[in-house]
Amino acid sequence: MTTITSPTKTIDPYTPGVPAPSWRFLHRLNPLSKVAAVAPAMVALVFVRDLAIPASFLVLAYAVILVGARITWRSAALLFLVLPLGISAVGVGFSLWVDAAGVDDTTALLQIGNWTLFSGALQVGFATALRLGAILALALIGGLTTTGPDLVRASIQQLRVPYRIGYTALAAYRFVPRFGYELSVIRAAHRVRGHSAGGLWGGRGPFARIVRGWGYIVPLLAGAIRHAERVALAMDARAFGAYPTRTERYLVPFRTRDVVFIVALLAASAAIFITLL
C-alpha cells in the first residue's frame, strides 16, 4: 500500500479537543512507557505487607499525576475523594475481618461485648487497603492520561500486535460511546411519544424504571446491529485484513523522553524498596 506523507501533523479525531499544556508531560508520552514504568512496582506491591512502602508509592503516584497530568473536576474527585474514601472503607472493613487470635498481643482500641478491635488488626487492614490504593494510583498514571485508541496504536506499532486484532478491539471500544448516544436518542423518542408521562411506561420508582429500561433493549439492539453492519462495510471497503500490514495514518512514536520516564520511575521505585525494606 502507498504511504501518503504530509508536511502538517495528522489530527486524530478521537483525541481530546483541548490539548494539554506542554508542561503536562504525561500526555505526551507513549502509552506503553507509562505501563512499563509502573508495572514492576504494581507487581511487587502485591507481596508487600507493611504500611510504609505502599504509602510511599501512593505519594509518588500522586506527585507524578499532579505534576504531569491535566487535572479535571472528574479526576480531582477521583483522586481526592473517591480513592481516599475507598482506602478508608477497605481498611476498616479488612480490620473487622482479621482474626483477633493472631493480633491479641497488641493494644485494644475498641471493645463491644466479647468483640475487641486490636491495633494489630487495624494495621493489617490498612496495610491491605494502602496496597490496593497504591496499585490503583499507579495505574491512574496511565489511565488518566492515555486514550484507548492511542494504546491500541502503540501496541500495534511497538509491540507488533497484529492489526487485525488491534483495530478490531479499537472498533469494539468505539461502540461504547455509540451505545450511549443511541440510548439518549431512544429515551428522547420515548419522551416525545409520551411513554414517560404515564400508563405502562410512566410513573416513578424502581419498577417503573425497570419497565422503561426493558423497552430500550429492542431498539438499542437494532441500532447496534445497524452500526455493526456499517462498520463491517467500511472495513471491507478499506480492504481490512487483505494485507499483512497496513499504513499508519496516526503515529504514536517511542521517543527518548519515554526511556527517561521509564528509567526515572523504576529508579524511584527501587529506591523506595531499598530504603524501606
Mean pLDDT within 173-199: 75
pLDDT at 1 (0 to 100)? 43
Residues facing 118 on adjacent strands: 108
**DSSP state, residue 214:** H
pLDDT value at 63 more than 50? yes
For the CA atoms of 29, 30, 34, 39, what is the dihedral angle to 10 degrees? -160
Q: Classify residue 139 as exposed, middle or buried by CB count within 10 Å of its CB (0-12, 13-18, 19+).
A: middle
pLDDT at 273 (0 to 100)? 94
Is pTM beyond 0.75 here? yes
Lowest mean pLDDT among 47-56, 62-71, 95-104: 95-104
Share of the chain above pLDDT 70, in %: 86
Region at 110 (left for phi over 0; alpha for psi -120 to 50; beta for the rest): beta
pLDDT at 65 (0 to 100)? 96
Chain segment 201-250, per-residue pLDDT in tens: 455 666 667 777 777 888 888 888 888 888 888 888 888 878 888 887 88
Chain segment 113-153, per-residue pLDDT in tens: 788 888 888 899 999 999 999 999 999 999 999 988 899 89
Cα angle for residues 144, 27, 42 (degrees, 5° grid): 50
Query: Please, which contacts does 257-264 make with residues 24 or more away whose CB atoms are closer than 8 Å?
Result: 257/25, 257/28, 257/29, 258/29, 258/30, 258/32, 258/33, 259/33, 261/25, 261/29, 261/33, 261/34, 261/37, 262/33, 262/36, 262/37, 264/37
Give 161's contacts (C-beta < 8 A, 6+ positions apart).
155
